[in-house]
Homo-oligomer: A and B are copies of this chain.
Amino acid sequence: MNYVNCNKEDLEKEYAALVAEYEEVKGKGLKLNMARGKPGEDQLNLSRPLLDVINSSTDCITAHGADCRNYGELAGIDECKNFFAEIFDVDPSDVMVGGNSSLNMMFDTIAGFMTKPVVEGCKPWYEVKNRKFLCPAPGYDRHFAITEYFDFDLIPVPMTENGPDMDVVEKLVENDDSIKGIWCVPKYSNPLGITFSDETVKRFAALKPAAKDFRIMWDNAYCVHDVTDTPDELLSLMAECRKTGNVDLPIMFTSTSKITFPGSGVAAMAASDNNMKVIKNRYQYQVISYDKMNMLRHARFFGDLNGVKEHMKLHKAVLKPKFEIVLNALESQLKETGTADWTNPNGGYFVSVDVLEGTAKEVVRLCKEAGVVLTGAGATYPYGKDPKDSNIRIAPSFPPNDELKEAMDVFCICAKLAACAKILNK
């Protein structure tokens, strides 16, 4: 039944039924988790063969003669640089392969610019007292948190189905030199799952920021992470920037965290010569070299980018049914109520649900009481504040399918219960 158009008496009946249903599931003592984009057991098992690539009788020498067991190769081994360069659409000399975490490389980048300017003559950001960062929202809480930690004012930018609202971005960036950057997940964005349109990418490449040291933090975390047979295509930002002459704008990141093992994958970044010069200058003081054994393990496991893409088909086979479970539950249980909207992404790790305005927090609370942990309501907004209290990020990957089904049933009951209560002013 549609909650918005129905009469009060019917809705009261529905509410009473939902309360009873909710009490019943609460009694089950469930312990389910749809909070974070963690790969599930089946996905982790896909990369088990990676662990056999290097053993005690393997040679550990790169194609260019470096011994991966010893110090050296600050920017990473060539085998890895090459396949990341293909992803980033840059020359391998502009790639830096790091440790296990692209988040750490993003943090290092912002931390670096806090104390040394990325553009000579600009102030280190620590000295820009009213420094600001654009946060397309809903977005990734850990991105926002880095700039919050460094005391930036977080400026929300609305997300559209084509990416950040570029009218807003252009107006802000081109008129305020205290705005130093913007966070982007351009493909299968977290949490919406949308891919920036060609026009959005072109407008990013054509930005004329008031701040010379404005940078686009381009986190291509889900670059090869399709979950349907109709994958999205993302235009190359770097290629567009070469056309506009704006090659210093983007700093790009990715990792194999959701390709092999989260936390023991390989992360990488790339940017223009100018940017990489500043970034590598800091890294040379920070570390002697990152874990080349793990780089070699990955390089030999995949061979090249095609190897990565083949491997991602295995992930898709695991993830596709999980996304279908989530979407089927939403479709069959929430659609008719007219109180919720959601995304239907071709890839990534999330389904983003907008429940009835003013009920997201309540839905998360109800779920928690019934044993289903969700990402905190509001987490996808700067400072954790969703102005409409409506957005909830669902992460289908971690629970086994039967648990996911059960968790989604609980979620739908809670969303309906909260919506009824809100409309009925309970």
**Which chain A residues have a beta carbon within 8 Å of chain B's beta carbons?**
36, 38-39, 44, 47-52, 54-58, 67-72, 99-101, 103-104, 107-108, 111, 114-115, 126, 142, 145-146, 149-150, 257, 261-264, 282, 285-294
Contact = CB atoms under 8 A, between A and B. Distances in A.
A62 B254 CA distance: 28
Contact of A115 (B56, B150, B286, B292): B150
A22 to B, nearest CB: 30
A76 to B, nearest CB: 11
Given A262-B70, A291-B294, A51 B44 contact: no
Given A38-B70, A55-B51, A115-B111, A103 B263 contact: no
A264 B69 contact: yes
What copy number does this chain have within its complex? 2
A285 B71 contact: no
Nearest to A285: B149
B107 A287 contact: yes
Contact of A51 (B38, B58, B142): B58
B290 A100 contact: yes
Nearest to A124: B126
Contacts of A282: 149
A344 B382 CA distance: 59
A286 B135 CA distance: 18
Nearest to A37: B71
A107 B51 contact: no
Given A56-B51, A99-B100, A111-B111, A262 B149 contact: no
Nearest to A54: B51
B287 A103 contact: yes
Contacts of A103: 286-288
Nearest to A281: B149
Contacts of A39: 70
Contacts of A72: 263
9 contacts: A52-B56, A68-B263, A68-B264, A69-B262, A107-B287, A263-B290, A263-B292, A264-B292, A291-B294
B107 A286 contact: yes
Contact of A288 (B111, B126, B263, B285): B263
Contacts of A99: 99-100, 290-291
Contact of A52 (B38, B55, B100, B292): B55
Contacts of A263: 68-72, 288-293
A104 B149 contact: no
Contacts of A261: 69-70, 293
Contacts of A52: 55-56
Contacts of A54: 51
